[in-house]
A = this chain, B = another copy of it.
Amino acid sequence: MPTDDHGRTKIYRDGPGDLRVPMTRVTLEPSPSTNEPNPPIDLYDTSGPGSEPDRGLPALRSQWIHGRNDVQAYSGRGRDLADDGRSAVRRGASSLEWKGERREPVRSTDGRPVTQMHYARRGIVTPEMQFVAAREGCDVELVRAEVASGRAIIPVNVNHPETEPMIIGRAFLVKVNANIGNSAVTSSVADEVEKMTWATTWGADTVMDLSTGDDIHTTREWIVRNSPVPIGTVPIYQALEKVNGAADELTWEIYRDTVIEQCEQGVDYMTVHAGVLLRYVPLTAERVTGIVSRGGSILAGWCLAHHEENFLYTHFDELCEIFAQYDVAFSLGDGLRPGCLADANDEAQLAELQTLAELTERAWAHDVQVMVEGPGHVPLNLVEENIRLEQDWCHGAPFYTLGPLVTDIAPGYDHITSAIGAATIAMHGTAMLCYVTPKEHLGLPNRDDVKTGVITYKLAAHSADVAKGHPGARAWDDTLSKARFEFRWEDQFNLSLDPDTARAFHDESLPADAAKTAHFCSMCGPKFCSMRISADVRDRFAKDGMKKMSETFVEMGSSVYLDAQDAAAGAKDAGS
């Protein structure tokens, strides 16, 4: 068991059968004054088993997938260099060709669904469900029941056996997605793989590859083969590349081919903007920022150009049939989400949400897992309405929101403007939060931005877990606070979401090692430390004496006396 430099060890929690569920164990020092031991705390771990990036991760789920005897390998649609875009065709090769193992894709043997929802509805408990239950520390029946009802999803494409199963649903820990991906302007395959690993190191529960630049197929191959978490995509981006960016030339056939390409690679969930209906487009005409979703605007452009209904809507059932054969989950895209406060909760947004509700039911009829995407930019007082309507209309399908940002005036700080909305909407039931980085609206996130975005969203998600009273969530806070009160600085750092930053900030003022065991810090200096004074106060009054005072107070009716004389007298009695 490797120990890193933060008092952290990766341990494995045993599940049924040979399940081994990874956790991060933080070992703690004893309390300094009493020398009482402090038990270690085990935290949810998303970092995966680790590997050389050019080899990929071990196929953890291979036996589980094949053990069900409902999938078979097949030759697949075949590789086309055009999948990597025009420059790859021109060069005759894609960048950083994948050199690791190439498995043949698998899919349903007989066309019947191979989805976790399908199994759950038939009362089958899969190893994936058991893994999730052990990971969440809950009963596996809760997992099965929530997946069966559609209130939770386990995104696990049969072609992504490397993934460690996780669950997205309001009855479970709130999850965080990190977006990565190149664009025509910046970044490379290696950068994106590194960002993915970096994001999961810091706690990203899923990663979306939103690449729109060169080498889309190859970038995705590297990412999926190295990802211990589910990978999401927006297939319309690649489809548009295949028609050289001319939205008018998109067809269902090109889109369908792209989806199958990605199903075979192992993408676990796909954003599909099937709710952008032709008749909703005019509802955006008077908006301050129109349509801000890339997918939404592409499909709106297509609908208007052809005067036809969105082909994703008209072919939705075919899409369901494909997804069911690989267990790809829908992330029903909110193509008409508001791009600013002024457009929040407007007719266009809510009309689309009603269509997403209809599509949810249609997907469920195919046993296909679904989550529903949400905004965006919403004033804080209107945030709750979004989750309330989504849960109501979409029958409890997991909500997956981007923030929302609660003000538009702080570019450069939109990880914060959106964390405010994210914590709030998650407290009210949103199951997964899509992170926003400091670069939102301004540029592509670099490595530091990815970390800042993930940590910011982990704290927002955890705040919501605590606010929801999720079992065990607050234990983490209490453990860290006890360490803080007892001046166990090393424990305080090690228990932090970001131990490196906590330690670095402390050391800026007090770098000496001795300061790590000092009963004060640089904010107040040794004499004024309230923690020390407070501990002294507690020590001075032996616990029994304090308890007695407290009991006396309770006997007096616990009331707060507004008369100073009575109060002082009562307190004197209690203290004497």
Q: Which residues of A contact B (CB under 8 A)?
A: 183-186, 212-213, 237, 240, 245, 247, 277-279, 281-286, 288-294, 296-298, 300-301, 304, 307-309, 313-314, 339-342, 347, 351, 354-355, 358, 377, 379-382, 406-413, 415-417, 419-420, 423-424, 427, 438-439, 441-444, 446, 455-456, 458-460, 462-464, 466-469, 474, 476-478, 480-482, 484-485, 492-493, 495-498, 501-502, 504-506, 508-510, 521-531, 533-538, 540-541, 543, 546-547, 549-550, 553, 558, 560-562, 564, 567-568, 570-572, 574-576
Contacts and interface: CB of A to CB of B under 8 A. Distances in A.
A536 B284 CA distance: 13
Given A423-B406, A485-B339, A534-B300, A413 B459 contact: yes
Contacts of A567: 277-279, 309
17 contacts: A183-B524, A183-B525, A186-B509, A279-B571, A282-B541, A285-B547, A286-B550, A301-B537, A307-B576, A313-B564, A339-B481, A341-B474, A407-B477, A409-B459, A409-B462, A439-B509, A444-B509
B575 A278 contact: yes
Contacts of A524: 183-184, 212, 294
B407 A463 contact: yes
A423 B289 CA distance: 24
Contacts of A463: 379-380, 406-407, 417, 420
Q: How many copies does the complex hold?
A: 2
Contacts of A546: 282, 285-286
A278 B561 CA distance: 12
A350 to B, nearest CB: 8
Contacts of A408: 476-478, 480-481, 484
Nearest to A179: B523
Contacts of A575: 278, 282, 304, 307
User: Is chain A's binding surface mostly helix, strand, loop or mixed?
Assistant: helix
Contact of A282 (B245, B523, B549, B576): B549
A22 B339 CA distance: 32
B534 A288 contact: no
Given A497-B410, A568-B308, A478 B424 contact: no
A285 B539 CA distance: 10
A300 B209 CA distance: 55
Contacts of A309: 564, 567-568, 571
Given A466-B379, A505-B443, A498 B412 contact: yes
Nearest to A575: B307
Contact of A495 (B183, B409, B543): B409
A456 B183 contact: no
A215 B419 CA distance: 40
A419 B405 CA distance: 13
A482 B572 CA distance: 65
A148 to B, nearest CB: 24
B237 A528 contact: yes
Nearest to A353: B560
A297 B540 contact: no
Contacts of A427: 380-381
B443 A537 contact: no
Contact of A466 (B341, B442, B543): B341
A474 B344 CA distance: 12
Contacts of A277: 567, 571
Nearest to A574: B279
A570 B446 CA distance: 46
A491 B542 CA distance: 63
Contacts of A186: 509, 522
A247 to B, nearest CB: 7
A329 B3 CA distance: 54
B282 A521 contact: no
Given A285-B543, A288-B485, A523 B409 contact: no
Nearest to A535: B290
Given A298-B530, A413-B501, A441-B521, 5 more contacts: A281-B549, A309-B571, A340-B478, A342-B478, A413-B456
Given A285-B543, A298-B533, A342-B478, A185 B510 contact: yes
Given A522-B443, A531-B292, A501 B412 contact: yes
Contacts of A212: 524-525, 527-528
